[in-house]
Amino acid sequence: MASKIEEYIEKIHYSDRYSDDKYEYRHVILPKPLLKLVPENYFQDPVHRGPLRLLEEEEWRGIGITQSLGWQHYEVHAPEPHVLLFRRLKNYVPPALPTLPVASKPMREGRKK
């Protein structure tokens, strides 16, 4: 399935960002053939495959959506199940990566004269 998903990754459309006082938003439009490759358990009704349920970051990244950190799939649009709505806090700052301690070089003893 991963190789089939890769065929559609470049065709995923990302809207410009828009915002209100609290969040910035964007919508992502999946190519309709890609929606057919999405696992059944990602849908609210796996039998009829209506709208998607809200997906965790690992899930939406797994179907080829690529965005910077902080985005949350927060809404589904039932009439257009291939449109996913995302938001994140305005002025989001990703958590700092832990830094590794720098190994100090052992001091060499100088030659005595």
CATH number of 63's domain: 3.30.170.10
What is residue 103's predicted lDDT score, i.e. its pLDDT? 64
Number of domains in the chain: 1
Pair 87, 68: CB distance under 8 Å: no
State which residues form the domain around 57: 2-89
Phi-psi region of 70 (alpha: psi -120 to 50; beta: other; left: phi over 0): left
Query: What average pLDDT values come out for the chain (113 residues) when binned by 10 residues?
Result: 79 96 96 89 85 94 94 92 95 82 62 56
- Residue 106 inside a domain? The answer is no
- Residue 29 inside a domain? The answer is yes
- Residue 42 inside a domain? The answer is yes
What is residue 105's predicted lDDT score, i.e. its pLDDT? 60
Pull the structure tokens for residue 87. Answer: 């938001």
- Residue 96 inside a domain? The answer is no
Residue appearing with tokens 């996913």: 84
